[in-house]
Amino acid sequence: MKFFIDTASLSEIQEAYDLGVLDGVTTNPSLMAKEGIGGKENIFNHYKAICNIVDNNVSAEVIATDLENILREGRELAKIDDKIVVKVPMIKEGVKAIKQLSSEDIRINCTLIFNAGQAIIAAKAGASYVSPFLGRLDDISMDGLALIQQMVRIFDNYGFETEILAASIRNNLHLIHCAEMGADVATCPLSVIMGLLKHPLTDSGLEKFIADYHKVNSEAVPV
Ligand code: E4P
């Protein structure tokens, strides 16, 4: 399973990268706005700065909703760096753009997926990734994890190469269930990635090991 971090914060991306388990980054216009990044030049420079931190897979979202401008923006974003994956929304013009841009070897992440039908269309159009937003489905009392399971089954039936990128992940259980179900990628905030490390028995166990060591060793912990 690939781990992406869902943020536009350079310090958070660096912290996750330093852990050694990060495979990519997803951003969206809301996350860019949260970091105060506005204006085309600043936005493009920020994507480049993200690409300079990680090894691959930096999702950068188009703003346009008409075909001509989705294509233009998509091509411009893809030129920033080979690591860029262009994020295109699940709308009719977006599907046409996915078909065209993927034929130009531009990798696409189709975003704002909320049902399996949308995922099938995006996969058939040639998206490299489809992003079901499971937390937002949970928010409206629908079962986000059930969608992941359904998508995994459908994609397996037909051997689709498109990867299922579970998005809008809010907690560790979401991530673990996605892994159980076979999602190819999970994108989540830094707090969820770091939360995976934690268990109170790990902390208390380590504290006791160190205390017991000091009972019979007066010198500091060996280097
Ligand atoms: C994914 O690519 C999106 O940026 C993200 O996961 C949305 O998450 P949210 O529902 O927490 O905003």
pLDDT at 218: 82
Residue list, ligand 1 pocket, CB within 6 Å: 6, 26, 28, 111, 131, 133, 135-136, 167-168, 187
Q: What's the mean per-residue pLDDT of the chain?
A: 97
- At 104-140, the pLDDT tens digits run 999 999 999 999 999 999 999 999 999 999 999 999 9
Say how many Å lie between the CA of residue 136 and the centre of ligand 1.
Answer: 8
Point out the catalytic residue in the list 87, 92, 124, 208.
Answer: 87
**221 has a pLDDT exceeding 80:** no
- Does 87 participate in catalysis according to the annotation? yes
Residue 183 φ/ψ region, left for φ over 0, alpha for ψ in the -120 to 50 degree band, beta for the rest: beta
Measuring from atom 11 of ligand 1, which residue has the nearest CA?
168
**222 has a pLDDT exceeding 80:** no
Say how many Å lie between the CA of residue 88 and the centre of ligand 1.
Answer: 14
Measuring from atom 10 of ligand 1, which residue has the nearest CA?
168
Measuring from atom 8 of ligand 1, which residue has the nearest CA?
168
pTM: 0.95
User: Is 112 within 8 Å of 51 (Cβ atoms)?
Assistant: no
- At 157-210, the pLDDT tens digits run 999 999 999 999 999 999 999 999 999 999 999 999 999 999 999 999 999 999
Q: Where are the alpha helices (DSSP H) in the chain?
A: 10-18, 29-34, 40-53, 67-80, 92-103, 116-125, 134-139, 144-158, 172-181, 190-195, 200-216
